[in-house]
Each structure stands twice: as structure tokens, then as C-alpha cells.
Amino acid sequence: MLRYKIMHRTYYNYSANVMLGSQNLLLRPREDYELRIESFSLKIIPEATLLWHRDVEGNSVAIANFTLPTNQLVIESEVIIQQYNESPLNFMVSDYALSYPFSYQGEDNILLSAYKILPDQTTTDVVNKWIANFWQPDEAIQTYTLLNRIAAYIHKTLTYRVREEPGVQSAIETLSCGTGSCRDFAFLFMQAVRCLGLASRFVSGYLYAPLMSEIGSTHAWAEVYLPGAGWKGFDPTIGKIVGSDHIAVAVARLPESVPPIAGSFAGPATSSLTVGVWVSLC
């Protein structure tokens, strides 16, 4: 078992007083048999009332509501987690899904239909042509091997860059420019998996990256549903299956659905944003 401490600090500064609308906060990691929350604290300035709920994906969502005008919004979360996902390859896939291609069976196929929706025809054609660079339909292959090959190919052939612009690039944009952020790579991976007829979803969270210049960051990757094993994460930014250094916060069918903080303000002011994330072993 590994213990991580995550500090996530967000500062919105406004050029004049504003009235804050409701802010949706996706900051509490997803607890399951692999990840347990030891402690969690949330500091918000100005004072806010919080309402917590679980959304349709099971994400923990806090809705913050404000009554006073302000020229700054501060949101600081601190969490200590216990991570048990130290052997990410320790899983078993149902016999019928060991090799690709396969089709989801019974109730799984119904429940997963939303996660298999294909992109538009132009994107589907482009992505299928791209897939042909590393896999042909007449090649016998294990399902896990194919998924890992997609992640590794994105990591090997595309260039990662920090992208401050909001939103996610389309698969065509990422392939045409040859660069993208972690969320762009995750979305490309998802589109490729869906073109292969499998269910995928977007994951936002944190990454412990001790060999990078920063010790932690917000991060994004993708999950694929494997019968018998459940949702398994793949990170095309590093070209590997998700492991103990990945800490999931939220999942969604579409990447734009799970920003850490989303909200609005009213008033004749401009705003600036500063974010700091620190992930450390403890």
C-alpha cells in the first residue's frame, strides 16, 4: 500500500467585485477497492455553503453557493489517500473477450452502449486509417495487447505539450498537428477504442510524477471496459496501463464533462486563474 498527499489550490482573481454563481467541484478522489481516502479537507474563500452528491457516473460532486460579493475566489483541497493498485496487471478477462475482436454480451452491451458511440463519419474514417498503421484486421491479437499497443503508439509517435487553452482537441486535430495534452491523447485513445467497437470513458485525476520537473499534476487518461476485469485504465501520455501513480477523481463519457472546477460569475470584471497541484508520497 502507498500513501499519497495531494494539494490542489485554485485562485480566481477578479478586477472588480463580482457575484459568484454556483461552482461545481470535482476534487474528491473516487474511492473503491484499490483507493481509500484517509482524510479530505476543502477550504473555500469567500465562505460558501456546500451540497454534496454523487452524479450518474458515481463521481463525488460538491456544489458551492455564495451570498457575498468578492474580488477573489480561493478553493484549496487537501487529501491523503491509500493506494492499493500496485499490481495493475493482476486481473482476469472473461474467456470470450481475451482475443479481439469480440462483442459485449447481454446486459453489459445495453449498459455500455453510451460509451461505444462512434464519432462522426469523417473522424471515424480518419481514425480507422490511423489504426491501420499498427494493426490490421487479419492479425490475431489479445485484447489487452491491442489496447496497450494503441497507448504505446500515441506515446511514441505524438509529442506531448502543456496546452493552457480550454477544451479538448478533436482526434483529427491531434493527428494532424502531431501534438497534444494528456486530455487530447486520452480523447484520441477513446475514439480509437470506440472505432474498434469497445466501450471507453474519460478519466480526470492526478499523477504522481517524481521524475518530472514538477512533483505532481492534474492529469487525464482513458478507461476501457473489459468483461471480467471491469474498467481498466490506459494512459497514452506515458504509453502504459494505469498504475499506482494515477489517482482518479472523475470519469465521464465525454471529456468536457469533468473539469475540476466549473462555475460562473456576474459583474463587469475580468478574471485570471492560478492553479497549483502537489502530489507527494507520505
- 67 vs 18, 19, 45, 111, CA distance in Å? 11, 8, 12, 41
Omega before 227 within 30 of 0, i.e. cis: no
DSSP 178: S
CATH architecture type of domain 2-84+259-281:
Sandwich (2.60)
Omega before 101 within 30 of 0, i.e. cis: yes
Cβ burial, residue 159 (10 Å; 0-12/13-18/19+)? exposed
Among residues 17, 8, 26, the alpha carbon closest in space to that of 263 is found at 26
Q: Where in the chain is the domain with CATH 3.10.620.30?
A: 95-243
d(CA 223, CA 203): 7
> How high is the pLDDT of residue 213?
45
Q: Where in the chain is the domain with CATH 2.60.40.2250?
A: 2-84+259-281
pTM here is 0.94
DSSP string, 140-167: -EEHHHHHHHHHHHHHHHSEE----SSS
**Which CATH fold would you assign to the domain 95-243?**
C8orf32 fold (3.10.620)
Per-residue pLDDT tens listing for the chain (282 residues): 999 999 999 999 999 999 999 999 999 999 999 999 999 999 999 999 999 999 999 999 999 999 999 999 999 999 999 999 888 999 999 999 999 999 999 999 999 999 999 999 999 999 999 999 999 999 999 999 999 999 999 999 999 988 877 789 999 999 999 999 999 999 999 999 999 999 999 999 999 987 654 445 789 999 999 999 999 999 999 999 999 999 999 999 999 889 999 999 999 999 999 999 999 999
Among residues 135, 122, 257, 139, the alpha carbon closest in space to that of 193 is found at 135
